[in-house]
Amino acid sequence: MPQEKAHFSFSPRILEHLGISAYNSVRKCLGELVANAYDADAHEIRISLPDVIDENALITISDDGVGMSAEDLRTKYLYVGRDRREGGDRTSEGRLIIGSKGIGKLAGFGIASRIRLTTRHNGKQSQITIDKSDLDNISELAGHQFDLTIAETEKSNGTSIELLQLHEGLHLPAAEVVRRHLHRALPSKADFRIFVENVECTAEDVPGARHEISTTIPGVGNLNGFYIIAQGRQTSPGFAVRVRGRIVQEPSLFGLDTRTHGFFTAEKIVGEFYAEFLDPEGHDGKRHDLIKTSRDGFLEDSDVVQRFEGWAKNFIREVIQGLDETETKKRTDALMDAPGIRDRLLALPPHIRGTATKVVRGLVGKLSTASDDDAMNLVEWVLRYYESNVLRELMNAIASADINEAVKLAELVGAWGLSQLNSVAGIIETQINIINRLEELVSSNKAYEIDLHKLIETNLWLVREGLELWSSDRPLKTVLDGQIDTLYKDRAHLRPDLICRSRDDGSHALIIEFKRPSETVTMEHVTQALEYEGLIKGHRPNVQFSTFVVGRQYHPSVLAVRDRMANAGLNLGSFAEILQMARIRFEKILGILGR
């Protein structure tokens, strides 16, 4: 059969495909060029940035490394893809070489169209300018002639790179952002300093507890590193991966979902893995590079990489879980020790105090996604159930029952307490359904005032949790009944309808006056409600009062001062509004529970 010849052809963009496009940000580009200076044994690097991006803007990177001779420039710098480690794994000063692929020298083309390199070595200065267009014809690149200028110099060794004709639309980060990136991304050594706009790149101090890592991953290799439990949430949480002292993979949580941790503990963790096994020498003496050409991660299909990532994910999960437990205990202890919770638990009958404490602690432990205020509100809500008349009646029944009945009732109380955590959401959902049904009833105009009045009176939780009728305060009731009869003689229709107080210590009270749906609420009604409030305050001066005047419609003179009255503790509202506020309150609690 006849044979014909075939050959490779290359796209003009082959170099861009192979890696130049990976350096399309100022930080990535500078990181690669500074890495080259590190491998050139530079001790000091100075970078200048333009104020704005225009046709005259340029970025310069100058170092005091060993520099290059004209011959080095021809045979090494212009050798694209040259392995920097072919002459050994360390520099002449003993630094572990961090570059390898031989394409980082072209990183400047990721953000600029022209590179001017000036290098000095042993009294000779060499300069070359490369335009990105020079790389367009890859087939002719090997034979392309560059102008190389050589001159005597008295300056010390070093290299300066100028990036000119910066790309239009290039995002220029603040100098401080560049400093943080370079300090973190490059090896940290006492004899290696980087300056951006004449300010040295220094460590960004993260306050928190530091923990060292030193372990062996089976089948992979030795790993060292550290992590810090920061005092607050971090903008870039997780672990970075450093190889040969250089960041290869930016901080990540290796696929763990931070949203599952309500205390945001995952977002308080920052650290680094030192994974030298991800840049290993093979058994055949050749290096098997596991780092992507773009140096922003590792080859996912590698067995070593997969084992490392699996270990890292489990390690981070254990750290987060441990921190979650610590945060949960710390928060629970703080809430349980709050005077409002501690004192009320101590005030409960001994029969149920232990169960109530257990339920409240368990509830707080499950409220990691709630704010401290929301957690406290829900604990308050649960405590009120333990303090309720229903539970007290249950305990009284136990005390008066015979032994067989007492055992049954004790078991019932115990079961109620232990199941409270699971039933809270169900109770609240039931109450919301009741509220929704009542809202329908009110809006349909089918309910009579007396019926709605009775409804509120027997279900005070609609207005506020923890209320009870003041009629339980017998001495006050006797005093009030006598004076009210006199005060409201011949105007009984103006007498307020309902007085409630907080069930815990009676330090808060509500006065509720209901007006007929057909009656317009006037300032006279408001005045009478305030008069009634003043009468009660005279007998209970240490009680904080709120007064509600509930009607369907209000005179404009009343509406005009509605906000001012609300600030003074007098509230206008309708049955519909009371129900709506109750529904919103319980829906918020339900949201805290994640239902």
How does pLDDT run across 510-520, given as a tens digit for each residue? 788 777 666 78
Map residue 553 onto helix, strand or coil: strand
Class of domain 14-200: alpha beta
Q: What percent of the chain clears pLDDT 90, i.e. is strictly above it?
A: 21
Kindly tell me if the per-residue pLDDT of 288 is higher than 70: no
pLDDT for 141: 64
Residue closest to 47 by CA, chosen among 66, 33, 28, 36: 33
Which alpha helices (DSSP H) does 193-338 contain, by range? 303-336
Comparison of pLDDT for 303 and 403, the residue scoring more? 303
Distance CA 384, CA 247 (A): 55
Architecture of domain 208-324: 2-Layer Sandwich (3.30)
Mean pLDDT of 539-559: 80
pLDDT tens figures, 430-486: 667 777 766 776 666 655 666 666 767 777 767 766 666 765 445 555 555 555 556
pLDDT tens figures, 153-200: 999 999 999 999 999 888 899 999 999 899 888 888 889 999 999 999
Comparison of pLDDT for 354 and 200, the residue scoring more? 200
Kindly tell me if the per-residue pLDDT of 213 is higher than 60: yes
Which is it for strands 199-200 and 193-196: parallel, antiparallel or unpaired? antiparallel
Class of domain 447-592: alpha beta
Mean pLDDT of 58-62: 96
* Whole-Å CA distances, 532 to 185, 276, 406, 495, 548: 72, 80, 45, 8, 12
- The structure tokens 């009676």 sit at 506
pLDDT for 447: 58
Question: Is 241 in contact with 220 (CB distance < 8 Å)?
Answer: no
Banded pLDDT at 524 (limits 50, 70, 90): confident
pLDDT tens figures, 92-112: 888 888 876 667 788 898 899
Distance CA 578, CA 594 (A): 25
Which distant-in-sequence residues (6+ apart) come within 8 Å of 512 by Cβ? 456, 463, 496, 497, 498, 499, 500, 547, 548, 550
Which pTM value belongs to this model? 0.55
pLDDT tens figures, 324-340: 888 888 888 888 888 87
The DSSP result for 392-446, as a single string, is HHHHHHHHHS-HHHHHHHHHHHHHHHHHHHHHHHHHHHHHHHHHHHHHHHHHTT-
Q: Round the average pLDDT of the chain to a whole number and report it.
A: 76
> Where are the domains positioned within the chain?
14-200, 208-324, 337-440, 447-592
pLDDT for 83: 66
Kindly tell me if the per-residue pLDDT of 346 is higher than 90: no
